Structure 1
Amino acid sequence: MSAEHSKMNVWQLTILTAVNMMGSGIIMLPSKLAEVGTISIISWIITAGGSIALAYAFARCGMLSRKPGGMGGYAEYAFGKGGNYMANYTYGLSLVIANVAIAITAVGYAVVLFNEQLSPIQTCIWTIVLLCITTFANFGGARVTGRIGAVTVWGVIIPVVVVALLGWFWFRGSTWTAAWNPHGLPFGSAVTSSIALTLWAFLGLESANANSDAVENPERNVPIAVMVGTISAAVIYIVSTNVIAGIIPNTELASSTAPFGLVFAKMFSPVVGSIVMALMVLACVGSLLGWQFTVAQVFKSSADVGYFLPIFGKATRNGTPIIGMLVLLVAQVALALMTVSPQLAEQFQRIVNFAVVTNLVPYVMSMAALMAIQKVMQVPAHKALITNIVALIGAAYSYYALWSSGSEALMLGGLCIFLGWTLFGFVAARFYDADVKAHVAHPGEALQE
């Protein structure tokens, strides 16, 4: 079989893109969105539009950029080495924060599955225990845990798709309408309050173009797959969460920490609901196993090229960055302790808002860098204009999502960004040394660069 025939077609890449986005981010959303009401469907539509613009812009970045490192490489076109560092730093930080949210989600479902009542401190302790277990389990390498995650993710995807397709048989328009705006919030406030939550479900869309080398006719097929995959995920998200809102009364749904288990118990039986909850707990654990290793690798790869402190680059013989994992675990434990709240759902939202803020920094940088990338790659002006307009739409949405995340998340995110610049001071000199040596060895070339 030729190499070309072994590559993915546009349909296969579209499915892969949608599946990659549909992870554990959706599991708690029906309950959190119920606190706002079904008016949050407007937030879904706005976020879907913004996510499609971002996804298309990232696809173009991936097709045009000749620098390694994903969003860090994109940012370097416009912001230099410091921009590359900051994009990787904030992206890595967002993944560290997101892991805490995944752990809280697993605890929330497990509490309902085992019919337990936990105090805020107990919830925090179990969250920390899960973070520790999934970190220690990766010390031997990620081969097994990666395979586990690839299987367990279907414990989320299948229930979500089933609800979107079959939930209509239990859907009641009156239940959905009664939940429109239960707290009588002003329209703008209601829509804004759920923007960060809906974006949480789409985080990871920037990785959709990672498989461009394995795709037939990538110039044409990658943007198509990214667009269609993102739209497909958006449809499933919007339909599933709103179908649930039309099955479960608003007050009951808003107070649940296991909304998908609740709706399956209502649709079929408590036993089926328990099975779904167990699947989703396993999915969260499997996802967390994979992400704990992935985050450590993100920090290790950045340390290897000099962007992060050398401690993150230390690894065992099999390539496992155990010391980096332990440092990141300490950060996750500290975050879990900092965000202890009377309600598990409240702690979940605080962490989600924080994760969204830090993740949007490399998004904004990449959207700005796309203009520079197109200049460097000499993209025709008319084609560049269209892409730049899409990138500006993605950037505008990103700013709206930042604002909607709330003052606490913006403050914490801002402090982390300033801390990042301080940490960059420890490694910045090595890039200066490299430039000096290059200038001494090849003064003409260094000056031209």
Structure 2
Amino acid sequence: MIGSIIGTGVFALPSALAPYGPIALVAFGVVTLGALALAMTFGSLSGRVPGSGGPYVYAREAFGEFAGFLNAWSYWITAWAGNAAIAVAWVGYVEVFVNTGHRTGISLLIALTGLWIPAAVNLTGMRNTGAFQVVTTVLKFVPLVFMATVGLLFVKADNFGPFNASHQSAPGAISAAAAIALFSYLGLEAASVVAGRVREPGRNVPRATVYGTLACAVIYILGTLAVLGTVPHGQLGSSTAPFSDAANNIFGGGWAGDAVAVAAIVSGIGALNGWTMLCAEMPYAAARDGLFPGAFARLRGKNDVPAFGILASTVLASLITVFSYTRFQDVFTKIVLLSVLTAVIPYLFSAAAQLYWLLVRGRAGLKPGRLARDTVVAALAMAFSYWSIQGSGYQTVYYGLFVILLGLPVYIWLKRDRGEYGETVPAPATTTEARAPETPPADRAARRPWADRAHRLNPLRHHH
């Protein structure tokens, strides 16, 4: 959980939030409350619907196949587009040591290297992926904890600049800053996505989701506060490695910034390692149900690796990285906002699925106090998701909606490939017309063999 949530986003976030000023800390607080509501919702959902898939299976079980497909499609976009954003931020810290002139071609090459190293690790199997994740998580956590504790002792009020530097209204500035800050919490659903590969998922997945999000929240808020208070506001907005600049200002030497840069490099590789796994796991779960192309469901080698999902996602992340470096000036912020939007849509559906089960299907099984608490938490998570979407901005919503709707032809193709063409519903018979005999159940089943196969693969889909 922590390894997937904490990547290079938090190391680059202070620069992205600098145009808003210290009001961004208010946005961070609001986002943290929303993230905790989402974490509690995912923890509850993981016990209600076991198995891998996370937001995909929750939407499918509550609202049907098409909703499940759209969530899987949207989350998959989040995963590989988010990898591109992590890689772009990762480059800023690598360039503390090489390519200090920030030549675009070399920066792009570094970003692509950062994308393909984790892909290679994932292709060797889940055990190696997990070991790599543990090591990188420990190494990344140390400097963040240091900055969130010792760094606070060196904060100076003059460095913060205007409280609201964006020249927007306070609600508008908080909303816009929150859309960027939410990127730091993407991955809070990671444990639920891979629940099928976790020991004792009913116990471990909810704990990992809630406690992991809490730990990250404390580090994020205090660490960002330390950076905003130790790097002058005018310098922070143009910094490509704000945590390194903060460490240099604290200790008055380049060695501290270099040490933080090394930690950020390790952190980025670790997060890319975890997200590359998620890039393959979500479509793998959907493909097993026939709601994603079948190639994503094929496992390769003795370690049962979903190789096609790993490779396809890394190729797409590489393409959007190349496109961004050639088209966008503020590469990180643009990709971050797209990733947040495509992630929030599955979050919204997951919160809605929780409300559906609580208020429509599952009321009899819960005590009144538990029902009220879970309903309030799910409603907060849903409201927070709506708020995050509107805070992403018109341009981001435009591009995000476009790439999500590109999934419609894929869904049509999948239905055609499965032979599910639907059934013609006859018009109601008039008094002068004989009503056509009803199709026997056996014949309907014969025309829809995939329904029986899907039921055998996942009997929970038909359980009420």
CA contact (8 A) 1:111 1:118 kept: yes
After TM superposition, list the pairs within 5 Å mapping 1:271-282 onto structure 2: 271-282=255-266
Alignment of 1:23-422 (within 5 A): 23-65=7-49, 69-114=53-98, 116-176=100-160, 178-207=161-190, 218=203, 226-227=209-210, 229-268=212-251, 269-318=253-302, 319-340=304-325, 346-374=330-358, 375-377=360-362, 378-380=364-366, 382=368, 383-422=370-409
Deviation of residue 126 (structure 1)?
A: 2.8
Q: CA deviation at 1:246?
A: 0.9
Give distance in 2, aligned partners of 1:211 and 1:225.
Answer: 11
**What letter matches 1:418 in structure 2?**
L
Relative to 1, partners in 2 of residues 1:225 and 1:327: Cα closer, same or farther, differing over 3 Å?
Answer: closer
Q: Structure 1 pair 169/385, CA: closer, same or farther in 2 (3 Å)?
A: closer
1:41-70 Cα deviation digits (max 9, x unpaired): 110111112112111222221222357532
**One-letter code aligned to 1:71:** P
Paired AA for residue 94 in structure 1: T
Tell me if structure 1 keeps the 8 A contact 2:5–2:185: yes
Structure 1 residue 20: Cα displacement: 5.6
Aligned-pair identity in percent equals: 26
Q: 1:417 to 1:329 in 2, by over 3 A?
A: same
Q: Is the 8 A contact 2:112 2:318 kept in 1?
A: yes
TM-score, normalised via structure 1 length: 0.84
| Conservation of the 8 A alpha-carbon contact between 1:138 and 1:145 | yes
Q: TM-score when scaled to structure 2?
A: 0.82
Shift of 1:287: 2.7
Gap runs ≥5 in structure 1 = 1-16
- Aligned letter for 1:260? F
In 2, Cα distance between equivalents of 1:238 and 1:266? 19
Residues 128 and 333 in structure 1, CA contact (< 8 A), matched pair in contact too: yes
Change (3 A) 1:215 1:90: same
Query: Following TM superposition, by how much is the alpha carbon of 1:217 offset from its aligned partner in structure 2, in angstroms?
Result: 9.2
Corresponding residue of 1:13? none
SS at match of 1:113: coil
Going from structure 1 to structure 2, the CA distance change for 1:79 and 1:264 (only over 3 Å counts) comes to same
**Residue identity in the other structure for 1:379:** G
- Please give the alpha-carbon distance, in whole angstroms, between the structure 2 residues aligned to 1:390 and 1:148: 34
The 1-side partners of 2:158 and 2:56 are apart by 48
RMSD, aligned CA:
3.1
Quote the residue 1:5 is aligned against.
none
Q: Which consecutive residues of structure 2, in runs of 5 or more, have no partner in the other structure? A: 421-447
How far residue 356 of structure 1 moved from its aligned partner, in angstroms, is 0.6
Please state whether the residue corresponding to 2:96 is helix, strand or coil.
helix
Deviation of 1:234 after TM superposition, in Å, equals 2.0
Q: CA deviation at 1:410?
A: 1.2
- Partner-residue secondary structure (3-state), 2:226: helix
Tell me: CA distance 1:153–1:341, structure 2 relative to 1, closer, same or farther (3 Å): farther
Task: Name the counterpart of 1:14.
Answer: none
Larger Rg computed on CA atoms:
2
Distance 1:215 1:172, change over 3 A: farther
Q: Secondary structure at the match of 2:291?
A: coil
Could you report, residue by residue, the CA deviation over 1:376-408 in whole angstroms, capped at 9, with x for unpaired residues? 343347333432222121111111111111222
d(CA) in 2 for partners of 1:257 and 1:55? 30
With over 3 angstroms needed to count, the CA separation of the structure-2 counterparts of 1:363 and 1:102, relative to structure 1, is same
